[in-house]
Chains A and B, each alone.
Chain A
Amino acid sequence: MDSLKVQSVETVDPGYNAAKNTANVEIKSDITKFQRLKRDKWLYLLLIPGLAYFIIFKYLPMWGIVIAFQDYSPFLGIFGSKWVGFENFIDFFKNPDFFRLLENTFILACLDLVFFFPAPIILALLLNELRLQAYKSVVQTFIYVPHFMSWVIIASITYIFFTTSGGVVNEIVSLIYGKEINFLSAPEWFRPLIMGQIIWKESGWGTVIFLAALASVDKEQYEAAIVDGAGRMRRLWHVTLPAVRSTIVVLLILRLGNFLDTGFQQIFLMSNSLNRSVADVFDTYVYFVGITQGAYSYSTAVGLFKGIVGVVLVLGANKLAKKMGQDGIF
């Protein structure tokens, strides 16, 4: 707190007076906790709706996790249901579904890292090289659009384009290939479609943050590189990429932390009875077993397993980044 700024209110507010005397240090010296609470009572009042939201919709469900260790019955409630320890987890690990889910989730997550993660970076680098500003902003306007569409719309568009009954893509495929391909229900096409969708929907949007990082690169570095005779590739490698490295690392950590989050809505909308063997992932499994079949405790255990692995991954990735000399996110 700046002492000059608070001078004016010292007669009005004892809290700011205290702040003035101690400048940036703790204010507690000549004002008690109770006085501070009293002074800020209206601020706390404003805080109530938001806090209520976090307690009810974020922390109450966290407490609800205990049903993973119960044989939960909606009629008995959390207090009345029987405790079963780790039985639900053991059931899940013994279930043949476990390895199928793990494999599907893992493959999608890896494909995501290999194909989707670099896409916005490459796109941003190419955009950054466009000389004509007006052209650049037109392209940018276009590539951001799909991000604002819901997954239902994206899936609907995919169905309309890829259906075997008159879809545009299949008409082109049958011209070249001679017959149509049932993209929407063939298990081998599920993963390519998922990757194509997410790249189409989100890679344009992903460029926003990289373009901002690129815009902050010192122009003199490019000039110096040119004087040193660096060609375009060299400038890219030695000036541009190092400038966005920390952004890449932060986003990679976030991505690793969400490694098991395969995007419930996208997968749910694209899966059907024919491609379920490759489409089932942890999130959709929790939905089908929990909500549609009512196995609350079991699916909560599945969800908790996924959540814990996620937290471990994000903390681990963060630590790794710090070890490599990068700023983590915490």
Chain B
Amino acid sequence: MPKMHNTPGGRVFDVFNFIVMGLIGIIMICPFLYIIAGSFATEAELTRRSFFIFPETFTLDAYKYIFSTDTFTRSILVSIGVTVVGTLVCLFFTFSMAYPLSRKTLMGRSFFMNLIVFSMLFSGGMIPGYIVVKSLGLLDSYWALILPLAINPFNLIIVKTFFQNIPIELEEAAKIDGCSEVGIFWRIMLPLSKPVLATFALFYAVAIWNDFFSALLYITDSAKWPVQVLLQQIIILSQAQLGDAASAGASFVEPPDQSLKLAVVVVATLPILIVYPFLQKHFAKGMLLGSVKG
């Protein structure tokens, strides 16, 4: 913003704005701080104090307890496994499709693009999608948590735009050196797109880790639940006065105390909070690329 003479009214606004934006920032982050603090606090402190950011007595009891239960440990392992494998699968599908589509000389390119854009506008809906997954025999399989999410069309278009902007000379030089198309993709395009690859690895990892809907639809075996479903069972359905009696009947963990609940939320959130600093560097750029038309 250029230097401008500030009127008294403008100065009042600046101070007001400074305070309001600070408050908004605090409101956004506060619940997380409370949950993290509470998960390290004793049950007594949680009942006595209503809100705090630093616990008086620091204890790891809640974490020790949740990791001693098979149910929780298993669901965390399921989530980690599905996220790692799923991210690799998603990257493979997205990048291998984006590269051919970025070649302007590819015959049928606009047909394929229209196919993709139409699928963003209109979908078969929940039930036909469910029937497809069911008839592929994927119900209660971890693949049901990965394959239906393998390509995010928005991500695909951003990656395609990225490949399109790589100078064509590089490709031609490789061709002269006798490199095949697949070789070009593997030896030139992928190494060049490492930062993009990293960005979308993070995006896909976050999406798969956070996905609750697929597990809700396709995984009925409670031993295969990822942590998001377990979280819903423990925190949202264990409230006897709130949950449906029918679905609460499926709960198997003894109703956890407050600090246990908080610890479960923290563990389910932790991976995101860890990758967030890395994500933040990239996402603004990604969003802007994404807003550029196809």
Chain A contacts to B: CB under 8 angstroms = 1-2, 5-6, 8-9, 12-13, 15-16, 19, 27, 33, 36-37, 40, 42-47, 49-51, 53-54, 56-65, 67, 74, 123, 126-127, 129-132, 135-136, 138-139, 141-146, 148-153, 155-157, 159-161, 163, 166, 168, 171-172, 184-185, 200, 204, 208-209, 212, 219, 222-223, 226, 231-232, 257, 264-265, 268-269, 272-274, 283, 286-287, 290-291, 296, 299-300, 303-304, 306-307, 310-311, 314, 329
Contact = CB atoms under 8 A, between A and B. Distances in A.
A237 to B, nearest CB: 14
A46 B175 contact: no
Interface of B: 1-2, 4-5, 7, 9-10, 13-14, 17-18, 20-22, 24-29, 31-32, 34-35, 46-47, 50-51, 92-94, 96-101, 103-107, 112, 115-116, 119, 121-132, 134, 136, 147-148, 150-151, 156, 168-169, 172-173, 175-176, 180-182, 185, 206, 209-213, 216-217, 228-229, 231-232, 235-236, 239, 241-244, 258, 261-262, 265, 268-269, 272-273, 276, 279-280, 283-284, 287-288, 291, 293
Contact of A184 (B2, B115, B213, B242): B242
B234 to A, nearest CB: 8
Most chain-B Cβ atoms within 10 A of its Cβ — which of A37, A50, A141, A272?
A50
Given A9-B176, A204-B28, A47 B123 contact: no
B25 A300 contact: no
Nearest to B279: A148
B265 A67 contact: no
Contact of B125 (A61, A204, A208): A61
Contact of B14 (A45, A131, A273, A314): A131
Main secondary structure of the interface of A (DSSP, over half): helix
Contact of B105 (A19, A156, A157, A222): A19
Contacts of A50: 93-94, 96-98, 151, 156
Contacts of A200: 27-28
A265 B217 CA distance: 12
A254 B17 CA distance: 30
B25 A142 contact: yes
Nearest to A59: B119
6 contacts: A46-B100, A60-B128, A123-B24, A144-B283, A153-B268, A208-B284
A149 B103 CA distance: 36
A164 B162 CA distance: 51
A55 to B, nearest CB: 9
Contact of A155 (B7, B103, B119, B236): B236
Contacts of A163: 239
A264 B123 CA distance: 15
Given A6-B172, A61-B123, A155-B232, A145 B128 contact: no
A208 B168 contact: no
Contact of A53 (B25, B121, B125, B150): B150
B26 A67 contact: no
Contact of A145 (B131, B239, B276): B276
A16 B175 CA distance: 11
Given A40-B181, A62-B122, A232-B9, 18 more contacts: A43-B100, A49-B93, A50-B156, A53-B93, A53-B97, A58-B119, A62-B123, A135-B22, A138-B25, A139-B21, A150-B212, A152-B232, A160-B35, A231-B7, A265-B212, A272-B242, A300-B125, A300-B128
Given A57-B129, A209-B287, A269-B232, A36 B124 contact: no
A303 B126 CA distance: 7
Given A9-B176, A130-B21, A272-B244, A222 B128 contact: no
